Structure 1
C-alpha cells in the first residue's frame, strides 16, 4: 500500500518524495500537479541518454529524482529545496549533481530547460535572463506551474526573454508554458538587482527578495522601536532578506559581529552585496540555513532580530516563524534578546511568550506589532 502524500507515480519511475522540513501533521505533498504534468510531457520527448537537462525551482527535488537517470543540473535558490532534494535522492537510492544557485553559470548549452514558475515575477525575470545564454534554437523550454501562478505577465516575460510562447490546456489546475528560443532577440540589460537607499545605507535586492525596492513598513517600525542599540557584540539578522536590519545595526555598533541568515540564496546574495557596498573593510557571516540551530552554536548570540515570513513559497502558516523563535531561544545567551515584528493577526506575542516565558509589546499599530523577549 502506497502513501498518497509521499508516493509520486510518473512515467519514468515511481518515487518516494518528502517535504523538507518534515511537519508531522502536514497534508501537503512534496510535489504538485504541475510536476506531474511536465513529467508526462517530458516522457513523450525524444531524450537521449546524454541529453543535457536543467531543472530550475524544483521544490523538493521531485523532478530531479524522477529524471535522475539523465543527471540533470539542479538550479535552486532555496536551501530547504536543496536539502529536500538531496534527502529524496538518497531515499530513492539515487545520486545527483550538487545544486547550484541562479547566480552560478551553467557548464554549457542545454537541451531541455524545465522551469517551475516562482511566485515572484522579478525572480522569474532574473532567472530567465541568467539562463538565456545557455539556450539555443534547439533547446526545449518548458515552464510549469499551477494556473493561479501563470498570468499574462508571466507569458510576456517568456515571450520577450526567450521567444514565441504558448500555453497548454489546464490539467488538474496546472498548466505548461512552451517557449521557442529566438537566438536573434536582444534581451537588453538585466535590471536586477534593484538598488535603493535607507538611512544613508545602500541596499541591493535581487528579484524574489522581500521588499525589493524600498523598506517595508514592518521592518521600519521595528528599527524605529529599537532606537539606539550599543550593547550587543554578536547579532543575528534572522531571515535577513536584503539585510537592511543587520546593515542598520552594524552602523550603530561598529565593533559588532554580524551574522546574516536566510533560507534563500537570493536573499543572502542581496545581503552580501549590500554589506560590501556599505562596509567594504568589515567582515560579516552569511549563512544559508534551514534552521538557525543547525548553523549557529547554542548560547552564543546576544541579539536576534527578525521579521519572519508567514509563507513559504505558496504555503501559508506560522510553522516557519515558530521554528525561528525556538531556534532563537536555543542560540541566545542568557539575557540575550529577541526582537520581532509581525502582522497583528499572526499572534506572535503568544508564541514568543510560550517559548521564552516572557514577551513585551514594544510598539503596535493597526497593522504591525513589535515584540521584545529576553532569554532568562
Structure 2
C-alpha cells in the first residue's frame, strides 16, 4: 500500500537535489502523534508550518482525521498543499487560515514544524495557549541541529508542561500541554512596533518576520541610495517587502508615487500592513500576499525595489533571486528600473544584465552591492 507522503511534490516551489517535499521531521511528528490523531474529533486538529502538506495530508490519509485547520507562512507551501491535495483527491479534509485566534479556537491537538525564529514560536505558543482547548496538546518537531533549549523555554512561558521526546533520524519532537492561566502568561506582544528616528518611521513586526522590528543591513545599504532613485511619480513595487521598510520610506520621500508592497510570507505581509498603518500611509501603500509579482500586469510598473532572499529553507539557491529578477522584468515598463541589493559574493550582475537589462553598480561594500537595472 503506497504512503501519501511518497506522492507529495514541492510545486510551485523551487526544486533541487537537496530540496524535498517531505522530511524526517514530518514523518516523526505523524508517528509520535499517532494516538492523538487516531482519537481526534472533527475540527480539533490544527497544523502550523506544514511545508508542502505532509502533516496535513498525512493526518487525513493515515488516521482519517477530518476538518483539519492549517496555517502556512509561505504562500508557495500553501499552494503546494492545495495542489497535492487536488492531485490526490483529498481537497475536502482541510481549510487554510491566517495565524489568528480562529485558527486555534477549540483545538485539542496542534502539530507544528518548528520555526527557526524564537519570536515566531512565541507568537504561535501565545495564540495556542489563549485560544485552544484547555486540554490541548502541542507537538512541535524540528531537525536537531536547528533546535535549542531556548525553544523549550519559549514554550514554557505559555505551558506548564514541556518535555522533549527521543530523537530519530536527527529530528526531535517537543510536547507542550496544560496552558498556563492568563495571569501567568506574558502580555500579548504581537505585532511589536519600534520607532527609528534616523529614518523617521515606525517599524512593526510579527514574530515570523525577517529582521523583526530592526532594519537589516541589506535594506540599509539600499536605503543609503534611495535619494538617487529618479522616479518621483508613477508606480513603484517593493518586491519581497518584508516588514515594509522600503515601501514606507519610498512613499514618504516620493509623494507622487503609488507604491505596492508584496511578499509571499504571511508574517511579512501582516507586519508590512501594520508598518504602513503605523506611519499613516494606508492611502499610499497597498500590501498584498503574492508569490513574486503574481497579479500585477505586464509592463505596468515604473520602479521596483528588491532585497532578495538567497535561501530556500537551509539551502543557498540562486534560483530564488533569479525568479524575482524575472518577475521584476515582467512587470517593468520599458526604461523602468530595478534597484536591487544583494550579497556581493553572489555576483548577480551578469544575471541582472541577462534577465532585466543594462545594469550598473551604484554602491558596494564588504557585504552588499547595490545595482540599478534598466528594462530594455
TM-score of the pair, normalised by structure 2: 0.91
* Residue ranges of structure 1 left out of the alignment (5+ in a row): none
The residue correspondences of 1:87-236 to structure 2 (distance < 5 A) are 87-95=83-91, 96-106=93-103, 108-184=105-181, 186-198=184-196, 199-229=199-229, 230-236=231-237
Structure-2 separation of matches of 1:133 and 1:27:
38
1:280–1:323 distance in 2 versus 1, CA, 3 Å: closer
Structure-2 separation of matches of 1:56 and 1:101:
10
Contact 1:232 1:303 in 2 (8 A): no
Q: More deviation in 275-284 or 52-61? A: 275-284
The residue correspondences of 1:166-315 to structure 2 (distance < 5 A) are 166-184=163-181, 186-198=184-196, 199-229=199-229, 230-280=231-281, 282-292=283-293, 294-315=294-315
In the alignment, is residue 84 of structure 1 matched against residue 80 of structure 2?
yes
Contact 1:340 1:371 in 2 (8 A): yes
Q: More deviation in 176-185 or 109-118? A: 176-185
User: Cα deviations across residues 4-27 of structure 1 (Å, max 9, x unaligned)?
Assistant: xxx8x3xxx555111133446444
Report how far residue 237 of structure 1 moved.
Answer: 0.2
Structure-2 separation of matches of 1:83 and 1:128:
25
Contact 1:53 1:73 in 2 (8 A): yes
**What is the DSSP-based 3-state SS (H/G/I as helix, E as strand, rest coil) of the residue aligned with 1:309?**
coil
Report how far residue 40 of structure 1 moved.
Answer: 1.2
Structure-2 separation of matches of 1:30 and 1:179:
26
User: Cα deviations across residues 196-233 of structure 1 (Å, max 9, x unaligned)?
Assistant: 23311111111121221322222112121231544341
TM-score of the pair, normalised by structure 1: 0.91
1:24–1:134 distance in 2 versus 1, CA, 3 Å: closer
1:28–1:339 distance in 2 versus 1, CA, 3 Å: same
Contact 1:195 1:202 in 2 (8 A): yes
**What is the DSSP-based 3-state SS (H/G/I as helix, E as strand, rest coil) of the residue aligned with 1:105?**
helix
Q: More deviation in 104-113 or 169-178? A: 104-113
1:134–1:18 distance in 2 versus 1, CA, 3 Å: same
Structure-1 separation of matches of 2:367 and 2:14:
29
Contact 1:242 1:270 in 2 (8 A): yes
Q: 1:30 corresponds to which residue? A: 21
Structure-2 separation of matches of 1:281 and 1:56:
30
Structure-1 separation of matches of 2:260 and 2:19:
32
Report how far residue 28 of structure 1 moved.
Answer: 1.9
Aligned partner of 1:19 among 3, 7, 10: 10
Q: 2:48 corresponds to which residue? A: 56
Q: 1:336 corresponds to which residue? A: 336
Structure-2 separation of matches of 1:259 and 1:163:
44
- Alpha-carbon RMSD across the aligned residues, in angstroms, is 2.0
Contact 2:232 2:255 in 1 (8 A): no
1:93–1:15 distance in 2 versus 1, CA, 3 Å: farther
Report how far residue 192 of structure 1 moved.
Answer: 2.7
Q: 2:33 corresponds to which residue? A: 42
Report how far residue 277 of structure 1 moved.
Answer: 1.6
Structure-2 separation of matches of 1:93 and 1:40:
23
User: Cα deviations across residues 313-352 of structure 1 (Å, max 9, x unaligned)?
Assistant: 3332121111000111111000000010011111121211
Contact 1:310 1:320 in 2 (8 A): yes
Structure-2 separation of matches of 1:261 and 1:80:
14
Structure-2 separation of matches of 1:111 and 1:15:
28
1:281–1:182 distance in 2 versus 1, CA, 3 Å: closer
**What is the DSSP-based 3-state SS (H/G/I as helix, E as strand, rest coil) of the residue aligned with 1:242?**
coil
1:182–1:285 distance in 2 versus 1, CA, 3 Å: closer
Contact 1:15 1:92 in 2 (8 A): no
Structure-2 separation of matches of 1:220 and 1:188:
32
Structure-2 separation of matches of 1:262 and 1:363:
25
Report how far residue 299 of structure 1 moved.
Answer: 0.4
Q: 1:348 corresponds to which residue? A: 348
